[in-house]
C-alpha cells in the first residue's frame, strides 16, 4: 500500500511538468505570436486566438479528467458485479467444475503474468478458496485464462470481469484496462478512455496551432523583412517543441483511433483475449463494427462526443458480443 502511495506521489512530477509545458507554450503564443498576428488583421488574430485558447481549454479539461477520474475498478462495483443475471444465452458460469481447485503459479503459469499485463508483482502459488471460486461463478465472463480457468485477481481478491487487468502502479484492478500512462499518473480504462482520446485529439490541435502561429511570427519577419520584430530564441524553441509533439501525437493518436474502431485495448493488441468458446481462434468477439465500437466509448449523443463527460455505453463489466463472429468461430 505504501509503495503504491509513493508511486502515485512521485507520479505527480510528470503531471506538473506537462502542465508547465502547456502554460509556457500558451504564454509564448500571447507574448510573441499574438501581437504580430493581430497587427496583420483583427479577424486573423481573433481566429487564431480562439483556436489556441479553445483547444487549450478543452485539452486541459480532458487532461484533468484523465488524471483525476477513477479509471474503473471492479472492487467498487462489487455489488453490481455479483448481481448480474445471465442475459447472454451462451455464456455459462465461469467454471464448469466448481469442485476443482485452481492453482496460480508465479512464473511457470504464463497466464498469471499475462493476465496482469501491467503487473510486475508475482503471485505466490495459491489455491483459490471456496469463497473465491464461488465469486468467479457469480459473474458472467466470456474470456478465460490460457488454461481455460476463470480469471481472478488475488491482490484485490475479486474475480476479473472481461477485459479487466491489474495495474501494479495504481494497485487496483482496472476495468477495460488500456495501459498505465505516466503522463497522467493514472490508468486509461473504462472510465477514462473517452477523455484520453479527446486529450490526444485536442493536444494535436493545440500543438499544431502553436507551431503554426509562431511560424507565422517568423514568416512575417522574414517575408516583410520587418526588423522591428525582434527575433527571439524562445518562440523558436516553443515552435520546434510543439511541432515535434504534434507529429508524435498524430502517430500515437492514429494508433488509438485504429484500436477504438476495432474495439481493442492496447493490452489486447499484443495479447489477444482467450475466449471461452472460441479457443484457438484469433477472432475478436468484442468487435461490433466501426460505428458501434465508436459509440461504445463516445456514446450515442453526438454533442457529447467533443467533451470529456461520462457517455460511454455499458458498465465496464459486461460487453456485448458480435454474434456473427461468435457463430463463425463456435460450433
Nearer to Zn ion, 23 or 138 (CB): 138
* Residue 119 beta carbon to Zn ion: minimum distance, rounded to whole angstroms: 8
Count Cβ atoms within 10 A of the Cβ of residue 298 and give its class: 0-12 exposed, 13-18 middle, 19 or more buried.
buried
Is 67 a binding residue for Zn ion by CB under 5 A? The answer is no
User: How far is residue 182 from each of residues 8, 13, 55, 154, 158, measured CA to CA in Å?
Assistant: 10, 9, 22, 25, 25
Q: Taking the complex as a whole, how short is the minimal distance between the CB of residue 297 and Zn ion, in angstroms?
A: 19
> What is the DSSP pairing of strand 165-167 with strand 172-174?
antiparallel
Q: For residue 327, what is the enclosing H or E element?
A: helix 323-329
Which x/- pattern, by CB under 5 A, does the window 170-209 give for Zn ion?
Answer: x--x------x------x----------------------
- Contact call for residue 267 and Zn ion (CB under 5 A): no
Cell (9 digits) for 276 = 471461452
What are the backbone angles phi and psi of residue 127, rounded to the nearest 5°?
Answer: -105, 130
The residue (of 139 and 239) whose beta carbon lies closer to Zn ion is 139
Taking the least distance from each CB to Zn ion, the nearer of 173 and 249 is 173
Instruction: Tell me how far, at minimum, the Cβ of 97 lies from Zn ion, in Å.
Output: 24
Contact status: 317 vs Zn ion (CB under 5 A): no
Residue 177 CB partners (closer than 8 Å, separation 6+): 71, 117, 118, 163, 164, 165, 167, 187, 188, 189, 265, 267
Tell me the site size for Zn ion, rule CB under 5 A: 10
When asked if residue 166 is in the footprint of Zn ion (CB under 5 A), the reply is yes
The answer to whether the beta carbons of residues 56 and 206 sit under 8 Å apart is yes
285 binds Zn ion (CB under 5 A): no
Active site residues: 181
User: What part of residues 129-158 is at the interface with Zn ion (CB under 5 A)?
Assistant: 153, 155-156
Residue from 15, 58, 167, 239 that binds Zn ion (CB under 5 A)? 167
Residues of the shown chain interacting with Zn ion in the complex, contacts defined by CB under 5 A = 153, 155-156, 166-167, 169-170, 173, 180, 187
Amino acid at each position: 500500500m505504501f509503495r503504491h502511495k509513493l508511486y502515485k506521489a512521485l507520479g505527480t512530477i510528470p503531471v506538473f511538468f506537462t502542465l508547465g509545458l502547456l502554460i509556457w507554450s500558451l504564454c509564448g503564443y500571447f507574448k510573441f505570436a499574438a501581437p504580430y498576428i493581430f497587427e496583420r488583421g483583427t479577424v486573423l488574430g481573433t481566429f487564431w486566438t480562439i483556436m489556441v485558447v479553445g483547444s487549450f481549454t478543452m485539452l486541459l479539461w480532458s487532461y484533468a479528467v484523465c488524471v483525476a477520474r477513477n479509471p474503473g475498478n471492479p472492487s467498487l462495483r462489487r455489488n453490481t458485479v455479483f448481481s448480474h443475471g445471465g442475459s447472454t444465452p451462451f455464456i455459462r458460469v465461469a467454471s464448469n467444475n466448481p469442485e476443482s481447485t485452481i492453482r496460480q503459479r508465479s512464473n511457470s503459469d504464463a497466464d498469471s503474468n499475462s493476465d496482469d499485463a501491467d503487473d510486475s508483482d508475482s503471485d505466490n502459488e495459491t489455491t483459490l478458496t471456496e469463497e473465491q471460486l464461488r465469486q468467479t461463478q457469480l459473474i458472467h465472463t466470456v474470456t478465460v485464462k490460457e488454461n481455460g480457468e476463470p480469471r481472478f485477481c488475488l491482490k484485490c481478491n475479486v474475480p476479473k470481469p472481461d477485459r479487466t487487468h491489474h495495474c501494479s502502479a495504481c494497485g487496483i484492478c482496472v476495468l477495460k484496462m488500456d495501459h498505465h500512462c505516466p503522463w497522467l499518473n493514472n490508468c486509461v480504462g473504462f472510465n477514462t478512455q473517452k477523455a484520453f482520446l479527446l486529450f490526444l485529439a485536442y493536444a494535436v490541435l493545440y500543438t499544431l496551432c502553436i507551431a503554426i502561429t509562431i511560424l507565422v511570427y517568423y514568416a512575417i519577419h522574414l517575408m516583410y523583412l520587418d526588423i522591428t520584430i525582434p527575433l527571439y530564441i524562445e518562440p523558436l524553441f516553443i515552435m520546434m517543441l510543439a511541432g515535434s509533439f504534434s507529429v508524435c501525437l498524430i502517430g500515437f493518436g492514429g494508433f488509438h483511433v485504429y484500436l477504438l474502431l476495432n474495439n481493442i485495448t492496447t493490452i489486447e493488441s499484443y495479447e489477444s483475449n482467450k475466449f471461452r468458446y472460441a479457443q484457438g481462434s484469433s477472432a475478436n468477439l468484442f468487435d461490433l463494427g466501426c460505428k458501434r465500437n465508436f459509440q461504445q466509448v463516445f456514446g450515442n449523443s453526438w454533442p457529447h462526443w467533443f467533451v470529456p463527460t461520462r457517455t460511454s455505453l455499458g458498465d465496464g463489466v459486461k460487453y456485448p458480443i458480435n454474434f456473427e463472429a461468435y457463430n463463425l468461430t463456435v460450433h
